[in-house]
Amino acid sequence: MLLFRFAIFFLLLAAGVCFALYIGTSKPHYKRWGLMILKWTVIAALGFFGVLILERLL
């Protein structure tokens, strides 16, 4: 559980850094990487919480 929290935190931090680099350099590949990291982080978090909810129900 703690490992998953750290992973989510660092992935969100990485997405934030990518967006900051995009703002600083105006290079679109940083924005693309930031959106990709953010998308997969949200998908992983939803899957994780879905498993927790399913576990609680059963």
Contact 15, 38 (CB under 8 A): yes
Domain that holds residue 16: 2-57
Query: Mean of the per-residue pLDDT values for the chain?
Result: 93
pLDDT of 1 > 80? The answer is no
26 falls in which pLDDT band (50, 70, 90)?
Answer: very high
28 falls in which pLDDT band (50, 70, 90)?
Answer: very high
Nearest-5° angle of CA 42, CA 30, CA 23? 105
| Angle at which helices 28-57 and 2-25 cross, to 10° | 160
pTM here is 0.83
**Cβ neighbours, 10 Å, residue 48:** 15
pLDDT of 40 > 90? The answer is yes
Contact 41, 15 (CB under 8 A): yes
Mean pLDDT of 4-19: 93
Number of domains in the chain: 1
